[in-house]
Amino acid sequence: MTTVALKDVTKVFPDGTIAVDNVSLDVNDGEFMVLLGPSGCGKSTVLRMVAGLEDPTTGAILLDGELANDLPPRDRRIAMVFQDFALYPHMTVGENIGFPLRLSGVDQQPRGERVADVASALGIGDVLSRKPSQLSGGQRQRVAMGRAIVRRPGLFLMDEPLSNLDSGLRAELRAEISGLVRELGVSTIYVTHDQAEALTMADRVAIMRKGVLQDVGTPTQVYGRPATLYVAAFLGSPRMNLLEASVYVHLDRYVALNLGEQALYLPWDDIRARAVAHYHGERIVVGMRAEALTPVAPGTPGDVLQGRIRYLEHHGHESLAFLDIGATAIVVDDLGGPVTDTEGANGTSRLRRFGHVMQRLTGRVGGEAGRPEPTGGQGNRTSVLSDPGRHHRRPAELAVRLAPYPAVAAGHPLAISVRMDALHFFDERGDRIDVGWR
């Protein structure tokens, strides 16, 4: 099937918007590539350039190794599925699916057979004679998929095809689409702003921000070893805890990561210690996902942080505690809304945070030392981390997983053991600090 290569592709619209900024990306034969990023980061523009609906301003687009910049869309063997998957309302399901074949002059008999095959593969074989208005949202989306598949394209381009559906159906169709596409062996570029969707469906994920490609890799690679602070913040639920730390090297002992009121110590036998030691006297960002943090009994020795629970979020299968550990969080901007899988919960937590701010402002803090709100990244300190518009600071609320409905409440102290080998480090520019590269 078709391979795709973008070489230094930039798209500047006539109004000066740089929608895609020097992107290079390969999609291998039969690969399911997911383009992930917040709304407006340039995903659809990439897709439309691959389809031939937009011309790149500079750079090359290669299909099967051949320069395709000037190839008309109809010669690209591409099928595209959009978010609004417009079906023809006056046609039956069968006619909708068969329409591209009719356009290219395929006779009724073979057309009918192909339509029946595709429909049964999609589990809509029994609704072929219905009109789109008589279908559920999921069935309609399957018809749209069917219409894309029926011409046996070499490449699928899918632009947020599930984002109009409710979450249950979305999860079901995710598995179906990726299963089906793999069965067909068709190379696919699938666009979404939903990180959970990307991680569950992709062979590889390409993460974009403001037209710039941030990282490309398998879900395991980009989740386990994000190339930038942005990717670290974008992937995962709950979001990665990102704490500001100042680095202090003790040559005979360890590299201290001072997090404010507490510190963690990176031993010299950790292979990353030398890379981090390079930042002696400077501030870096330390990332810790909830899975790197385990509640332990008070007084447990080792790599332990002491915190106090600010609030809890109950998700049924687990509860999240958000701890005050006297540290400063780096909040990455333009992540494009809450992490989708916990939309409701995140909404609540925002409200709660708002409640905490109100409490601090009104002085009703219930024994907590009210700390001032951060003033944001307006260069209040000379740190290179104060890059206005990219991230800002606030008192850290460390997300920690607990058993469902734990016997603790807001205000309780909690000791947390930290898996030092699971920490992530980022420099002032938001680039990963690490040894070597994957």
Ligand X SMILES: Nc1ncnc2c1ncn2[C@@H]1O[C@H](COP(=O)(O)OP(=O)(O)O)[C@@H](O)[C@H]1O
Rounded to a whole number of angstroms, the minimum distance from the CB of residue 38 to Mg ion is 10
Rounded to a whole number of angstroms, the minimum distance from the CB of residue 84 to ligand X is 14
45 or 96, CB closer to ligand X?
45
128 or 158, CB closer to Mg ion?
158
- Among the listed residues 8, 17, 104, 358, the single contact to ligand X using CB under 6 A: 17
Could you give the C-alpha distances from 257 to 245, 262, 426, in angstroms and in order? Answer: 6, 9, 13
Q: Hey, which residues between 40 and 79 contact ligand X (CB under 6 A)?
A: 40-45
Q: Which does 42 bind (CB under 5 to 8 A by kind): ligand X, Mg ion, none?
A: ligand X
Rounded-to-10 torsion of CA 12, 18, 19, 22 = 90
Neighbours of 345 (CB within 10 A): 18
376 interacts with ligand X by CB under 6 A: no
* Residue 271 token pair: 């292979």
- Among the listed residues 44, 214, 328, 346, the single contact to Mg ion using CB under 5 A: 44
Q: Hey, which residues between 22 and 41 contact ligand X (CB under 6 A)?
A: 37, 39-41
Rounded to a whole number of angstroms, the minimum distance from the CB of residue 45 to Mg ion is 8
Q: How far apart are CA 417 and CA 266, in angstroms?
A: 14
Rounded to a whole number of angstroms, the minimum distance from the CB of residue 68 to ligand X is 19
What is the rounded radius of gyration, in angstroms, for the C-alpha atoms of the chain?
25
- Among the listed residues 6, 9, 19, 245, the single contact to ligand X using CB under 6 A: 19
Strands 187-192 and 241-250: unpaired
- Residues in contact with ligand X, total (CB under 6 A)? 12
- Phi then psi dihedrals of residue 335, to 5 deg: -85, -10
Rounded to a whole number of angstroms, the minimum distance from the CB of residue 189 to ligand X is 12
Task: Classify burial at 215, counting beta carbons within 10 Å of its beta carbon; exposed 0-12, middle 13-18, buried 19 or more.
Answer: buried
Rounded to a whole number of angstroms, the minimum distance from the CB of residue 46 to ligand X is 7
Strands (E), 123-232: 155-159, 187-192, 204-209, 212-217
The site for Mg ion (CB under 5 A) is made up of 44
The site for ligand X (CB under 6 A) is made up of 13, 15, 17, 19, 37, 39-45
